[in-house]
Each structure stands twice: as C-alpha cells, then as structure tokens.
Amino acid sequence: MGMDVTASAYDKCELCPHRCGAARSKGHPGLCGATSQLRVARSALHYWEEPPISGEAGSGAIFFSGCPLRCVFCQNHDISHEGFGLPVTTARLARMMLELQDQGALNINLVTPMHFAPQVCEAVVEAREAGLAIPTVCNTSGYERPELVDAMADVVDVWLTDYKYASPMLAGMLSKAPDYPRVAHEALAHMLDAVRRAGGRTLGADGRMLRGIVVRHLVLPGHADDSLRVLDRVWELCGNDVDLSVMNQYTPNAECLAHGGDLARAVTDEEYELVLDHADDLGFERMWWQQGGTVSESFVPAFDATGVEGPELDPSRKAH
C-alpha cells in the first residue's frame, strides 16, 4: 500500500519516522516544527555541494524551514530549529524551480524537503509540465520513512543523503533519534532500489549527476570508530552503486562548546585520515573528501529569503 502524499497527510502527520500525529493542517506544528504551511528560507545558486551536484555553474538550492531531527551540532539552526522562512504557495515553489533553471542551475536541490512532501511533489510535477528539464535532488538527513522514499521516487532523480550514525546511542544523544541507524539504512536501501529501477547512476556530458545517490558522512570528533562502522554498513548495502562523500567540516556551535568534551573541538587530521583510509580499504571508487581546515560556516549561505518572494507559476504555462 502506497503512502499518502496528498494534503490529507497533514491531518494526522506521519510523514517522518517520528509519526507524531500532529494536526498540521489545523496549524499545529509537528516535531519537525512545521505546520502544513510551506515555508522557504532561500532559493539561489549554491556552489558548495559535491562536484557532480554543483559543478561550476552551481546547484539550484531551495532551503525549506523545519527538520525532523534535532542535531546538537546543526549549522542551519536558523531554519531547522527556529523555523525561519517565508510562507509560499505550491505555485510559487514551482516558479522558483523554473527561475533557478533560467539562472543556469545544474539541478533543483531540495534541501530538507520531505516534511513538505505533498506540496513538493505537486510543485515538481507542475514545474516539469511548464518546462523544468534539469534533475531534481533530494538533499536529506537520511532520517526518512522508506514508504515516503518510494512515494517520492517519481519526482526525485538524485538522492543526496546523510548517513550520520551507526550507533543508536550516539544518534539518540546527538540527534534525539536513537532509531536513526535503522531508519537511515532502510531508507538508503529504498533509494538504491529506486535508482536501480530507473536505470542506475547516470552522468551528463558535463559531469553533472542526472540520476544516482551521493551518501554523505560527517566525521565527528571523538567518534571516528562510529564513522568506520557507518562506512561498513554503506559498503555492505551499496558497494560502488553510490558516490561517497566523507566530510571533515564539523564546527562546534555554542551548544557543542557548552557541552564540552570532544564535541567542543574540531576533527583532527588523524581522525579524518583514519576514516578516509578505511573507505579506500573497503573499495569505494567514487569518493569525495575535503581538504584543509574546513569549517561548516564556509558552506552555510545567508538565510535571508533570497529568491523566495516573486510571481507564482502561471497554471496555463506548459512546455512546448
């Protein structure tokens, strides 16, 4: 039985693994912090994703407000925890996608969109009918119900997904989601199945990813051992059917500094090299890594509602 991704899903919300049952359609926020009102914090070209996603032209990133996770180290706190963003209609969201395509975006990069799945699905379909011809990327924490992954497969070409933890204890401590390892693993399995059924990983002549999966993993200070287990799990499930992105950009925010211990420092070169070496040993052929003293703030744009306001999509506009 398929999952409901119509507006009625907001009546008693079970879109995310928390299945909190909030009456979002009546204005009650779910654990993601959002009601049924679609909210967007930024719509603009973004240059700091992996090369197959951003290339040189940039990815057309649309940042949604709210998030089902509560990661203590989150660098997008303004939108994920505090809910910054402007209310928009589905027709405006579709128009944003076409505007980004007109700006030369390599793809439409939907950042944390799944708790707004009903409007996102509708907007992608409307935008495609009106001429959207570039891939759509689902940029997700990985904490997704597999049924929702299946339901979104027709409107998602590329999955840009995190795989944060192998340890339930660590996931509970840092993201308030001890079921994260199980959920993320099952979600990734469904992403993999969707991509394989659609024909597998595909690149354009310019190197952009047209269809496929990039699995991201952020190495956390003091927890390189968990990173090794994450890579083991990804390799066992996917092998080289995915691209791997191993990141060292962990930057302690105020909450982490107050927490103290390892979370109050950056990842050491030794920790990062240990994880990269393990990825090599496992056999990953397409791996992205970060060089130098990378910090998260370098990759966080200004959440200032750039590109959010504007005209809606004319429902009579169709591709010729």
* 298 pLDDT more than 60: no
In the chain, pLDDT over 90 holds for what percent of residues?
Answer: 82
Average confidence (pLDDT) over 208-228: 98
In the chain, pLDDT over 70 holds for what percent of residues?
Answer: 92
Q: Which residue has the tokens 């910054």?
A: 84
Give me the CATH code for the 40-299 domain, please. Answer: 3.20.20.70
Q: Which residue has the tokens 């967007």?
A: 40
Residue-level pLDDT at 160: 98
Cβ-proximal residues to 31 (8 Å cutoff; 6+ apart), any chain: 16, 18, 20, 22, 68
Name the DSSP class of 176: S
Average confidence (pLDDT) over 93-103: 98
Average confidence (pLDDT) over 294-317: 70
Average confidence (pLDDT) over 52-69: 95
Which stretches of the chain are assigned E, i.e. beta strand? 39-46, 59-64, 86-87, 108-111, 136-140, 158-162, 202-203, 209-218, 243-247, 287-289
Question: Which residue type, as a one-letter code, is found at position 18?
Answer: H
Name the DSSP class of 240: G
Q: pLDDT digits over 2-41, tens only? A: 788 999 999 999 999 999 999 999 999 999 999 999 999 9
Task: Yes or no: say if 113 and 120 are a contact pair by the CB < 8 Å rule.
Answer: yes
* 295 pLDDT more than 60: no
Q: pLDDT digits over 128-167, tens only? A: 999 999 999 999 999 999 999 999 999 999 999 999 999 9
